[in-house]
Amino acid sequence: MSPLVDGRYDVIVVGAGPAGIACSTLLARHDLRVLLLDKARFPREKICGDCINPKCWPIFELLGVASTLRQQGLHVVDSFRLTNSAGVVVRGKILPESDSPLFSIKRSILDTLLLENAARSGARVLEKTTVVDVQWSVGRGVVVRTAGENRFLELRADYLVGADGRNSLVAKRILEKGGIPQGRHGERRISDKRLRVGVQWHTHHQPQAGSAVEFFLFALGYCGIVNVDDRAATVAMVTTPDLARLGQHDFPRFLEKTLYSNPAARIRFPSLTPPEVLSTAYPIHPRLHENGERRVFLIGDARQTVEPFTGEGVFFAMQEGVLAAQRILHARNSPVPFLSQSIHPPSWANRFSTLLLSHGRSADLLTVLASRLPFLVPFVARTILR
């Protein structure tokens, strides 16, 4: 990736997920001096359902990476299959435009492609670099202090973008300055019964799934399974914190109490190889917070707008990255790129799907209704796949 260049930057972006990469790429393509920092070395795994919504394609085009993605031999997802805890099945076809499909891909591959494109676009990329402090004040701009690979750096910029995930240091500093309400970290006032955790692992290719994404509901969550290529499949689950912890030390029992508590899942997917690494993300219950700082932006998970696996995580992340870039360009009186889609926060459908996670019987009932009333199938598809 690009080497670090000393001096002041126009923008420093913390976090090289889809949100941070989208923001960095767009700003760099408009000749701003952009530094993109991440604590990981790419490629790296990231917990995700690994399904990329067709809505992402206009953003891929805007970032100049769409043609590169299409050359990857993408695993196109053309249908879905939803089985509730009573074994009732709803099936549906996914019929996007041929050049803008719903597809599945490991985040280790997707994020690396996006990061390489950001570097080609002119962003300076620094991996294996942990941000240890950020400060800003009127007249001084932004100061970012980092540590990584036996070096400590003090970097300066006019703007700071926090794309550093659920445990965002940038968000913490904003909180300390009174920029967002108390309760962002930990104090969510959500009852223990409603708390949910994302769990994900990769297993061998599941031929019975073919080119479909399959969902199974169970009493304390649900699970999605999709092939990502001819060798591997992704298993992504939302369940309780206790069950997620069980998966770390007793995977067979974890599987029995979650996915395999739905008998249909055990029959259809009897061999889901125990993972070498079981990834978890905690917690999955979003709260949208506005930020009053004029030179500091929060996007993606750092802003807590990303929904469960039922949502459009990568899409919303990149969209917020584009929005932050547009605001920075506008503030600098620079030309603002046009995105054919409207910029919007998570929709009512995301909030509805979040409700279903906490009320399994409602999800089961919706499945039964859709199985008996075919006109509801597109609604179910939009709710779980959007």
Which tens digits make up the pLDDT trace of 190-244?
455 667 788 999 999 999 999 999 999 898 888 999 999 999 999 999 899 999 9
Q: What is the largest CA-CA distance in the chain?
A: 64
Residue 4 within any structural domain of the chain: no
Q: What is the mean pLDDT of residues 348-361?
A: 53
Number of H helices, E strands in the chain: 12, 17
Question: What integer pLDDT is reported at residue 252 of this predicted model?
Answer: 95
Give the mean pLDDT of the chain.
81
Tell me the Ramachandran region of residue 177: left when phi exceeds 0, alpha when psi lies from -120 to 50, beta otherwise: alpha
DSSP line for 276-302: S--EEE------------SSEEE-GGG
Q: Which residues contact 214 (CB under 8 A, 6 or more apart)?
A: 80, 81, 82, 83, 224, 225, 226, 268, 269
Residue 2 within any structural domain of the chain: no
Identify the three-state secondary structure at position 261: helix
Do 280 and 225 share a domain, yes or no?
yes
Question: What integer pLDDT is reported at residue 325 of this predicted model?
Answer: 95
Cα–Cα distance list, 317 to 275, 354, 357 (Å)? 27, 17, 21
Tell me the pLDDT band of 83, cut-offs 50, 70 and 90: very high
Residue with tokens 């949208």: 288
What is the rounded CA–CA span in Å between residue 296 and residue 279? 30
Tell me the pLDDT band of 73, cut-offs 50, 70 and 90: confident
Give the pair of three-digit tokens for residue 311: 């949502």
Q: What is the mean pLDDT of residues 50-64?
A: 92
Q: What is the mean pLDDT of residues 25-38?
A: 97
Tell me the Ramachandran region of residue 212: left when phi exceeds 0, alpha when psi lies from -120 to 50, beta otherwise: beta
Do 120 and 29 share a domain, yes or no?
yes
Tell me the pLDDT band of 379, cut-offs 50, 70 and 90: low
Higher pLDDT, 44 or 337: 44
Give the pair of three-digit tokens for residue 194: 């409603």
What is the rounded CA–CA span in Å between residue 228 and residue 104? 5
Which tens digits make up the pLDDT trace of 118-148?
999 999 999 999 999 999 887 678 889 998 7
Do 143 and 207 share a domain, yes or no?
no
Do 137 and 251 share a domain, yes or no?
no
Tell me the pLDDT band of 288, cut-offs 50, 70 and 90: very low
Q: How many domains does the chain have?
A: 2
The CATH number for 210's domain is 3.30.9.100
Do 225 and 273 share a domain, yes or no?
yes
Do 227 and 209 share a domain, yes or no?
yes
Question: Under a CB-based contact definition with an 8 Å cutoff, are residues 184 and 304 in contact?
Answer: yes
Do 155 and 221 share a domain, yes or no?
no
Residue 200 within any structural domain of the chain: yes
Residue 208 within any structural domain of the chain: yes
CA proximity to 39, closest of 138, 126, 159, 153 = 126
Do 210 and 100 share a domain, yes or no?
yes
Residue 3 within any structural domain of the chain: no
Q: Print the domain residue range for 169.
A: 9-46+107-188+286-346
Q: How many CA atoms lie within 13 A of 166 on its CB side?
A: 19
Question: What integer pLDDT is reported at residue 189 of this predicted model?
Answer: 47
Q: For residue 372, is pLDDT > 80? A: no
Do 266 and 119 share a domain, yes or no?
no
Do 202 and 276 share a domain, yes or no?
yes
Do 177 and 198 share a domain, yes or no?
no
Q: Which residues contact 256 (CB under 8 A, 6 or more apart)?
A: none
CA proximity to 301, closest of 170, 160, 163 = 163
Strand partners, 234: 202, 226
Question: What integer pLDDT is reported at residue 171 of this predicted model?
Answer: 87
Tell me the pLDDT band of 354, cut-offs 50, 70 and 90: low
Q: Where are the alpha helices (DSSP H) in the chain?
A: 18-29, 57-63, 66-70, 107-120, 169-176, 241-249, 251-257, 263-268, 313-331, 348-358, 360-372, 377-385
Residue 215 within any structural domain of the chain: yes
Q: For residue 159, is pLDDT > 80? A: yes
Higher pLDDT, 334 or 128: 128
Whether the bond between 283 and the residue before it is cis, its omega within 30 degrees of 0, is: yes
Do 228 and 318 share a domain, yes or no?
no
For residue 302, which phi and psi values (nearest 5 degrees)? Answer: -65, -30
Q: What is the mean pLDDT of residues 359-371?
A: 58
CA proximity to 314, closest of 112, 50, 93 = 50
The CATH number for 333's domain is 3.50.50.60
What is the rounded CA–CA span in Å between residue 359 and residue 351? 13
- pTM to 2 decimal places: 0.83
Residue 1 within any structural domain of the chain: no
